Amino acid sequence: MYSIRDHMASVRKVEEALPLGNSLWLISLTDEMRGWFGGRIVNVTRANAASLIEDGAYRLATDEEALAHEAGEEKKREAARFARINTARHYTGSCIVLEPKTDQEPTRPQPKKQDRGN
């Protein structure tokens, strides 16, 4: 019989073997018997990581996998930012033009002189 004491002892052993740090990236494993789909990436504390690894649900993500995930999340954040800007422009009627960042000092366009028909 598997007791909670044995389980927690094995979780502590796994936690001691994990790399140091506040949080770790894990990737879920596929298990058709349990209905688990693999490939999901999560960022959890060392204690939670040890428990998930011990249960056989997750494995440590490689540095490349974690960087790829972070890059994908940054793209999603940027897309959401542009969507918010476009939504704001739609409702306010204003126009926002986003230009690429440069090292040069930005210049302001001079207002055009209006002919008042005098």
Domain ranges within the chain, ordered by starting residue:
9-61, 63-95
pTM of the model: 0.62
Rounded distance between C-alpha atoms, residue 102 and residue 107, angstroms: 12
* pLDDT for residue 97: 61
pLDDT tens digits for range 66-98:
999 999 999 999 988 888 877 765 555 556 666
Q: Which helix (H) or strand (E) holds 94?
A: none
- Tokens standing for 2? 């598997």
More confidently predicted of 36 and 7:
7
Overall average pLDDT of the 87-112 stretch: 63
**What is the number of residues in the chain?**
118
Please write the tens of the pLDDT for every residue from 12-70.
999 999 998 888 999 999 888 888 788 899 999 999 999 999 988 899 999 999 999 99
Phi-psi region of 111 (alpha: psi -120 to 50; beta: other; left: phi over 0): beta
